[in-house]
């Protein structure tokens, strides 16, 4: 059951980040991952559009 839930969570995350309003966020996350070599840290999405803010808020 845990594996099924994890797979569903991954699929949900993939679908979420593929949305057009999140391409800049995805690029920032990628850059931070490359910089740190792991998932962590903090990013800033400067001049976020209302659409980007709405989509990010819907995920959190």
| Nearest of 60, 55, 54, 53 to residue 18 by alpha carbon | 55
Expressed in angstroms, the distance from the first to the final Cα of the chain is 24
Could you give the number of structural domains in the chain? 1
- Tens-place pLDDT, residues 7-44: 888 888 778 777 768 888 888 988 999 999 998 999 99
Assessment of whether the complete model's pTM goes beyond 0.75: no
Range of the domain at 6: 2-59
- Tens-place pLDDT, residues 42-54: 999 999 999 989 9
């Amino acid at each position: 059951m845990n594996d099924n839930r994890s797979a569903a969570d991954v699929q949900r995350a993939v679908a979420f980040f593929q949305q057009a309003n999140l391409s800049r966020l995805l690029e920032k996350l990628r850059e931070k991952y490359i910089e740190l070599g792991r998932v962590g840290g903090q990013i800033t999405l400067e001049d976020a559009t209302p659409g980007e803010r709405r989509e990010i808020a819907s995920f959190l």
